[in-house]
Amino acid sequence: MAVRSFTLKAPTPMPGWGLSFGIMLTMISVVVLIPMAVLLWRGFVDFGAAAMWDVVNRNRVWNALALSFRAAFVASLFNLAFGVLLAWVLVRYRFPGKRIVDAAVDLPFALPTAVAGIALTAIYAPNGVFGSVITQTFGIRVAYTELGIWIALIFVGLPFVVRTVQPVIEEIDHETEEVSATLGASRLRTLTHVVLPMLAPAALTGFALALARSVGEYGSVIFIAGNLPNVTEIAPLLIVIRLEEFDYDGAVAIAIAMLAISFALLLAINLIQIWSRRRMGAV
């Protein structure tokens, strides 16, 4: 065993190692690895950490980063709660049109973001179907405000929690809920103390996926956002603006800042996951 651990691959009669590994490694290198390395090289070596900090440490950039992460967080929280509810309704209840609703949950995966962007803008604009009603009743505007960004990001992240939680609900043993009832717990208590904790790890995974997706979202947001600097200008848009000004260093700095914050967040979520999974055993 000691010898084997020094070789890359354990011996096997299975064919196609060279070909499959070769294709895989080439594609990963060309599409992901080298481009990411170039980005980091441009940022940390050519431009320098201090210079990048100067780019990021300006109000407009901070505001854009804060907006992107705040809106993504709010939208993902909404999707966390609504996604668990929707998954429950889809697995446990019967109602007419359920299959269609189930299929439609994936619409945000299949519908191009630009289409979602202009469509949401059309209905939530001050003269749109919902926008006009909301403005008249509550006196607030949706499109061209941060609220509009929330709506777009909720749309984009909607399927993630539903799709991670659904299979877990399907696998819940009815006996677990029944035993809780025999011990005297009300239905509500069973749901909050027994069912929800069982769904938590999967829901958190879905939350992380939705967050990662919505932090970087561009297409569906720019139409509805209004794109006012410091107010409704998201970080990805700022990268595009820097590129249009041929300020490559500025774009690189903001991109690296976004990646760094994203990875810190995902790492934190992963740690929570590992902790909660360890408690529940290897499941």
Partner 1 sequence: MNIEIEEISKDFGTTAALLPVSLSIPSGTLVALLGPSGSGKTTLLRILGGLEFPTAGRVLFDGSDATGLSVQERRAGFVFQSYALFRHMTVFDNIAYGLRARPRKSRPTTPEIARRVTKLLELIKLPDIGARYPNQLSGGQRQRVALARALAIQPRMLLLDEPFGALDAKVRKELRHGLRDIHDTTGLTTVFVTHDQEEAMELADLVVVMSIGRIEQVGKPEDIRARPKTDFVREFITA
Partner 2 sequence: MTNAMIIPARRRRLRSATSEPTLVKWLLIGLCLAVLTVLLFAPLIAVFDEALRRGWAFALASLSEPDAQAAIRLTVLVAAITVPLNATFGIAAAWAITKFDWRGKAWVITMIDLPFSVSPVVAGLLFVLMFGANSALGVWLVANGFPVVFAVPGIVLATLFITFPFVARELIPMMLEQGRAEEEAALTLGASGWRVFMTVTLPNIRWALLYGVLLCNARAMGEFGAVAVVSGKIRGQTTTMPLMIEMFYNEYLSVAAFTMAGVLALLAFVTLTLKSALEWRYADQLAATHRH
In the numeric block, the tokens 């696998």 are attached to 171
Q: Is 183 in the site for partner 2 (CB under 8 A)?
A: no
Q: Which residue of 104, 268, 271, 274 would you call a contact of partner 2, by CB under 8 A?
A: 104
- Residue 16 or residue 281: which is nearer to partner 2 going by CB? 16
Structure tokens that stand for 147 in this block: 């609220």
- Considering only residues 252 to 281 of the shown chain, the ones binding partner 1 according to CB under 8 A are 276, 279-281
Structure tokens that stand for 265 in this block: 């967040």
198 binds, among partner 2, partner 1, none (CB under 5 to 8 A by kind): partner 1
Instruction: Give the whole-angstrom CA distance, residue 196 versus residue 154.
Output: 22
Q: Is 94 in the site for partner 1 (CB under 8 A)?
A: no
Q: Which residue of 55, 64, 67, 120 would you call a contact of partner 2, by CB under 8 A?
A: 120
Dihedral class, residue 230 (left if φ above 0, else alpha if ψ from -120 to 50, else beta): left
Instruction: Give the whole-angstrom CA distance, residue 233 versus residue 230.
Output: 6
Output DSSP code: residue 57: S
Q: Is 122 in the site for partner 2 (CB under 8 A)?
A: yes
Instruction: Give the whole-angstrom CA distance, residue 141 versus residue 37.
Output: 42
280 binds, among partner 1, partner 2, none (CB under 5 to 8 A by kind): partner 1
Task: Collapse the DSSP code of 1 into the 3-class scheme (helix H, G, I; strand E, B; otherwise coil) and give the result.
Answer: coil
Q: Is 181 in the site for partner 1 (CB under 8 A)?
A: yes
Q: Is 126 in the site for partner 2 (CB under 8 A)?
A: no
Give the phi and the psi of residue 226 in degrees, each rounded to 5.
90, -30
Q: Is 98 in the site for partner 1 (CB under 8 A)?
A: no
Q: Is 5 in the site for partner 1 (CB under 8 A)?
A: no
Instruction: Give the whole-angstrom CA distance, residue 64 versus residue 229.
Output: 8
Q: CA-CA distances (angstroms) from residue 136 to 106, 107, 129, 147, 226? A: 32, 30, 11, 16, 20
193 binds, among partner 2, partner 1, none (CB under 5 to 8 A by kind): partner 1
Q: Is 191 in the site for partner 1 (CB under 8 A)?
A: no
Q: Which residue of 54, 102, 146, 147 would you call a contact of partner 2, by CB under 8 A?
A: 102
- Residue 204 or residue 212: which is nearer to partner 2 going by CB? 212
Buried b (16+ CB within 10 A) or exposed e, 139-149: eebbbbbbbbb
Per-residue contact flags (x/-) with partner 2 for residues 18 to 57, judged by CB under 8 A: -xxxxxx--xx--xxxxxx-xx--x---------------
Please give the residue ranges that form the binding site for partner 1 (CB under 8 A). Answer: 173, 175-176, 178-186, 189, 193-194, 197-198, 200, 276, 279-283
